[in-house]
A and B are shown apart, each in its own frame.
Chain A
């Protein structure tokens, strides 16, 4: 409290300070200042309570600049409302006179608060002197007081504080470390920059150059930061590295010998150390190669450049081409609609007429039957003399003819169904055989003889009979319906014959045998003939008499084939369970190989109108697939297997023999070894 008062006073006095005894009482201080409040009765009112307005009594104008009262004679008012007189103002002359006369002048100062002259006491002067000399103002202050050692540096035997130091106090702060690491990371990543960097930047900014030829938009990549490549990991120690490995890991004599033998070629050793067994960990000696191995590791890391190996991860599913869902490929046959029952033995072949009204089938019971497609009614049965291996309806709608391969005979049969005008015209066309001047060569004559049917045969519908020297397995029509081809696999170089209905003549197109001919088929629009031997399909130009193409199948034995109505795609079924799709424009190798069947494929067929094809096999399954051929040459055919039917019964290890599409509807017929034909509808 006291010191505060002194300070206040010192500040009040301005440049000169009244010295005041530290011990002096507040009451005699007031005396010294010589204020006129002696008349105020008891002084001891403030003796023990030092109030704050004690000083304000002397200066009634408050803490305002004194020059505000320069114009007035008084300065404030006293307790009774009387004006407090200002001390007499003196001019320079007075001041001079007083300086000469008054011995106390040197110690007289003006109190700025009251505007009066105050004569400083000896103590005050002393105090000022001490301050000026930069000494402790208080005279009684002992600068060299004896040192009292409150906290000793000596370690006590019995410490005052019982608990030990906290761990925090001697461990570096984790929090701090975290913050530092954050900052370091940010610095590394370039998120924040050091001052020096900014300085550099500033320095750089002074002379800025613009890149003329190279863009600097992409940020500089810090390889070690952005593309950090971790060091390759070492293998974890195995059982052999254990100090106490199971005994089977320890070397026996032979292994030890081997180890020693490979001294010269240590990299060939299985292990780079000899496993040792110790009872306890304590007994394990220092590892002698430790330094060396560490060094080698460091050298490895240092000398061997690391690089990022880009590994492609390809899911097996991604490799499978995305096929459209069968739902979107409608229409295609989906259910069994009608069964055609009547044959007593295996049905080898079927075919439909051009309108889709009738179906013809040939069977091992040496009959052919003509069916009404829509009702399943057998309209006609024609008996032949041998197993019927192939039947084909004439594609010419002006002719009502069926080509039948029965034994070694090929029969041209008028079924007498449908338009009777056409039937009778066909009869009249075939009745009188044309007389041609051309001499039939000996080679052809020994191969085939055209015969007129007997009367009994004529009533059955026979219009012409061709007797061959070997068994006929396959017949096919040319698209115009005048020419037809006959296949005799055992005929050596006479195995393929081309006959002409209008001239009643046959010719042998090939002079040399090319192999065991399985099947032939005419190109739908060009004068080409496809000839399938055991392994290859050859395409011949009949006009030029040349080989156009040789398609190489990757199979052992071709069974059957069919050509796409467009003529550029060929479907081949093989006895080794495959169905091959050849794109003749693409290559001589199969465009696609379908391995959908379990056993030999017996029949393949294209639909004439819809993008469908079907295949049947001995595993009694009929598979209908979507086979879209695009007009765009750049686009490959789209092949999607759609549906599998297994309704036929297996007979004598045979399943299905032939498959045939309805000419107009997306329906398919299948001929089975169980003597039935089945129609599948959409």
Chain B
């Protein structure tokens, strides 16, 4: 408070509001100096809380003014947002997202192309054609080498239950459905998905775990059954050109093939059990209706996309592209720019991005500048935290388990960060 008094000059009227009831303070306007920043507001708020609730432990808060996180002195923030300084300003405060802690690094033999966490199990796809399963405490459980080319993407069939099996896709033009139960030995390949003409880059599992969608360099989006039953969609008489290694596994053909993209499909996301969102290097994001087998909506941008993610909480798409920016799209908006926000901090290609499963504002991104960043969608100019540790390009990130932030890259390792923020 003393420091504030030193800052003579113009004053501002603010009112503290919050949605977190345990930290509520009286709804009284305060007069504070214009140049006040985060730290001083924190001090002031903690002092107020101590008066009202006698809580001893100071809490760190973040402040929202006009829906954007306060990162500058208040007056500059107001100027940026074009808000009059004469009226009383509502300053919403939330508990600050705690910094993730580095927990573990899983060392592979080659680059890590895909990673996903389910419960306590981390599934990774590696450029040495192997598929690995690790426990979250860093123990290598299983390795399997059925693929004949680099593995580009992996996904558990059920987001929280590893015993439901998983799917891996590779540049050997196939995807493999695996059956695995925790505690088993190596996973059994159930069926091979054949149909793509070029390397498969991305895979997505529908929310009800019944369908799969894969996007590949042949520009097609193919939809498959995700059933672990071998006979589902099995066609025994084909496969003249089977590669020797995979020939012993039964194959499966796609239910639908959706054509429309002009280049590689980099990301496949199921919005609901009918709607698929795909991002492609041909500068478009497309929404496909699987019932009608057609295009439902299209977002056309100017730069090639490298990854995208859909969040059911915020109902919006976050996409990263080769021009180093991350963009937030609202596919439902009809008027004005469909791009709602641009997040700029990475210095090279942003190659991987994913929303938090529990918080509608948080997402993480990985880039070729060897950096993984944790973002709040209300703070477009700077990320919340930089998660350093990688010594090469980051190729994949995952936040399926809300407690773990996982990223894999060309330094042959998967880095695990523990999320301490509970929301």
Contacts and interface: CB of A to CB of B under 8 A. Distances in A.
Interface of A: 330-331, 335, 337-338, 355-357, 372, 374-377, 379, 418-421, 424, 664-665, 667, 681-682
Interface string B247-263: 00000000000000011
Nearest to B349: A337
What 5 pairs across the A-B complex have the smallest Cβ distances? A419-B197, A681-B322, A357-B217, A418-B198, A419-B198
A338 B368 contact: yes
Given A355-B198, A665-B304, A338 B263 contact: no
Interface of B: 111, 127, 150, 172-173, 197-199, 217-218, 241, 243, 262-264, 281-282, 302-304, 306, 322-324, 348-349, 368, 393, 395, 410
A357 B410 contact: no
A667 B197 CA distance: 25
B197 A421 contact: yes
A331 B302 CA distance: 8
A357 B323 contact: no
23 contacts: A330-B302, A335-B324, A337-B322, A355-B264, A356-B281, A372-B150, A374-B264, A374-B306, A375-B111, A375-B393, A376-B410, A377-B150, A418-B199, A419-B173, A419-B197, A420-B172, A420-B173, A664-B262, A664-B263, A664-B282, A665-B322, A681-B322, A682-B303
Contacts of B348: 337-338
B111 A421 contact: no
B261 to A, nearest CB: 12
B86 to A, nearest CB: 38
A356 B349 contact: no
Given A356-B263, A375-B395, A419 B322 contact: no
Contacts of B172: 420
B125 to A, nearest CB: 13
Nearest to A664: B263
Nearest to A418: B198
A355 B262 CA distance: 10
A379 B113 CA distance: 14
A374 B377 CA distance: 27
B217 A418 contact: yes
A682 B349 CA distance: 10
Contacts of A421: 197, 241
Given A420-B241, A420-B243, A421-B197, A375 B263 contact: no
A357 B198 CA distance: 10
Contact of B349 (A330, A338, A372, A420): A338
B217 A375 contact: no
B70 to A, nearest CB: 31
B410 A375 contact: yes
A419 B304 CA distance: 23
Contacts of A338: 348-349, 368
A375 B411 CA distance: 12
Contacts of B199: 357, 418
A179 B187 CA distance: 116
A665 B282 CA distance: 8
Contacts of A374: 264, 306
Contacts of B111: 375, 377
A357 B324 CA distance: 20
A379 B218 CA distance: 19
A421 B218 CA distance: 13
A376 B150 CA distance: 13
Nearest to B264: A357
A424 B172 CA distance: 14
Contacts of A665: 281, 304, 322
A335 B322 CA distance: 10
Given A418-B217, A421-B241, A682-B323, A377 B127 contact: yes
B241 A355 contact: no
Contact of B218 (A377, A419, A681): A419
A669 to B, nearest CB: 14
Contacts of A372: 150
Contacts of A331: 302-303
Contacts of A379: 150
Contacts of B306: 374
A355 B303 CA distance: 17
Nearest to A422: B197
A420 B171 CA distance: 10
A681 B323 CA distance: 7
Nearest to A665: B304
Contacts of B303: 331, 682
A521 to B, nearest CB: 27
Nearest to B322: A681
Interface centre among A335, A337, A356, A420 (most CB of B within 10 A): A420
Given A664-B281, A667-B322, 6 more contacts: A330-B302, A357-B264, A374-B264, A664-B263, A665-B281, A682-B323
Contacts of B263: 355-356, 664
A547 to B, nearest CB: 40
Nearest to B196: A419
A682 B173 contact: no
Contacts of A376: 393, 410
B368 A337 contact: yes
A512 B56 CA distance: 97
A374 B322 CA distance: 10
A372 B150 CA distance: 11
A424 B322 CA distance: 33
Interface centre among B282, B304, B349, B393 (most CB of A within 10 A): B304
Contacts of B264: 355, 357, 374
A419 B263 CA distance: 15
Nearest to B392: A376
Contacts of A418: 198-199, 217
A542 to B, nearest CB: 33
Contacts of B198: 355, 357, 418-419
A682 B243 contact: no
A380 to B, nearest CB: 11
B197 to A, nearest CB: 5
